[in-house]
Amino acid sequence: MRKPELLAPAGNMEKLETAIHYGADAVYLGGTAFGLRNLADNFSVAEMAVALDYCHSRGVKAYLTVNSYPHNAALQELERYLAEVSRLPFDAYIVADPGVIDLVREISPQRELHLSTQANTINWRSARFWGNQGVSRVNLARETTLEAITETVARCPDMEFEVFVHGALCISYSGRCLLSSVMAGRDANQGECAHPCRWNYRLVEEKRPGEYYPVMENDSGTFIFNSRDLCLLEHLPEIVASGAASLKIEGRMKGINYVASVLRVYRQALDEYWADPEGYRCRPEWLEELAKLSHRGYTTGFLFGAPRNVGQEYHSAYIRSHVFVGRVEEVLSDGAAVIGVRNRIQVGDELEFIGPGLRSSRLRIDSLTVLDPLGDAVEAEAANPNQRIMMRPPFEVEPFDLIRREKNP
């Protein structure tokens, strides 16, 4: 058994840099089309080349998502796109559609192929079938149980398997949802999901059309389709023991605070377990860290069987305890840190600086130095998003470290 890779989302270059800073072994990213997150920032072909250089110079792998289900009308454009990216040294393509696989074979016959969760692989015979088609790794459907993961890995020893361990879940079968197409005219299977399962709804009885009854759970309405977020941190030993080759984190649409906070926890947990499986324990502070993120409540999904009602979050859309307020952009030779402000910071705030390895330090803002557009320092009572500030923390910080504060201190 070898140590699983930790695979992180990279919705743009900033998220990619953040993922690598916080310990990703590999990242997955998409172009401006043919992935399932077309509404993320994503990468142009020129940006992909820069991203690949950045990854490979740091020993990190990069996978390109080409996992949409294209219609006939899109095939010519897809062929042009695959020809354009064929010169780039991606470590693998993530694919789902058999026609896309066939076209990749034509254009880039040596390219390693990873099968997306969109292909809904939940049994070892399906995995073996895809292996016979030249797929080297399968991202198993989120509906796969731990028992099924273990059996599938054992029966397909020449293949690798990837398992989602953290992130948003879909109410439909591994993403095969039509709600967005019907209700918003945006096809989820083409990468344009509007997430109508996160909207609030009211109840209507069929013989009383036009009479809408609120099913109230809070002031925002009810979220009857709203799945809780997946969190398998407490079951990391079982997943590693199953033989999974890659532990995948969902979230190309999410911000760098999410990427950093999730990665720093799973990185430390995986490293500690691998170093000492017998003495390993899931630390309460890891779960506390994940609880600080914006989330919809956590579930283990289908890992131990059908989740029934415990997989749904009926009470609220999101739980938030902390606000992401800035990122360290540069550390000067005299120790001063230049910080890009993302949410308002003001004198009196208590800020927490977080880095890899659960590094965390706090300071209270007694004075604030804002850098104006010309780079001149100006004392101020507050700094707003997109401004830059300078401070000298009494502890070590690094570029890409993030800064947050409690939402309701």
CATH of the domain at 96: 3.20.20.70
Is residue 339 within 8 A of residue 392, CB to CB? The reply is no
pLDDT of 311 reads 54
Please list, in sequence order, all residues whose beta carbon lies within 8 angstroms of the beta carbon of residue 346, skipping any fewer than 6 positions away.
365, 368, 381, 382, 383
Residue 321 buriedness (CB in 10 A; 0-12 / 13-18 / 19+)? middle
Is residue 117 within 8 A of residue 142, CB to CB? The reply is yes
327/276 same-domain check: no
Q: Per the domain annotation, does 264 fall within a domain?
A: yes
Which residues face 95 on adjacent strands?
Answer: 66, 115
Please provide the distance, in angstroms rounded to a whole number, between the alpha carbons at the two ends of the chain: 45
237/288 same-domain check: yes
107/15 same-domain check: yes
47/123 same-domain check: yes
How many structural domains does the chain have?
Answer: 2
**Domain enclosing residue 246, as ranges:** 5-173+227-295
H or E segment to which residue 129 belongs = helix 124-132
Q: Give the residue among 57, 8, 243, 251 at the shortest CA–CA distance from 137.
A: 243
Q: Using CA atoms, how far apart are residues 312 and 299, in angstroms rounded to an integer?
A: 8
234/357 same-domain check: no
385/257 same-domain check: no
The dihedral over CA atoms of 157, 172, 229, 344, expressed in degrees to the nearest 10, equals: 120
Per-residue pLDDT of the chain (409 residues; tens, 9 = 90+): 899 999 999 999 999 999 999 999 999 999 988 876 655 578 999 999 999 999 999 999 999 999 989 999 999 999 999 999 999 999 999 999 999 999 999 999 999 999 999 999 999 999 999 999 999 999 999 989 999 999 999 999 999 999 999 998 877 766 667 777 777 887 776 667 777 777 777 777 788 888 776 555 555 555 566 778 899 999 999 999 999 999 999 988 889 999 999 999 999 999 999 999 999 999 999 999 998 888 878 889 889 987 665 555 544 456 678 899 999 999 999 999 999 999 999 999 999 999 999 999 999 999 999 998 888 899 999 999 999 999 999 999 999 999 999 986 5
- In residues, how long is the chain? 409
355/253 same-domain check: no
Q: Using CA atoms, how far apart are residues 314 and 309, in angstroms rounded to an integer?
A: 10
CB atoms within 10 A of CB 178: 11
pLDDT of 316 reads 44
H or E segment to which residue 17 belongs = helix 13-21
Q: Give the residue among 93, 53, 14, 2 at the shortest CA–CA distance from 260.
A: 14
Q: Per the domain annotation, does 303 fall within a domain?
A: no
CB atoms within 10 A of CB 213: 10
137/249 same-domain check: yes
Residue 348 falls in which region: left (phi positive, over 0), alpha (psi -120 to 50) or beta: left
pLDDT of 36 reads 64
pLDDT of 314 reads 46
Phi, psi (5° rounding) for residue 236?
-55, -45
Is residue 171 within 8 A of residue 177, CB to CB? The reply is yes
CATH, residue 336: 2.40.30.10
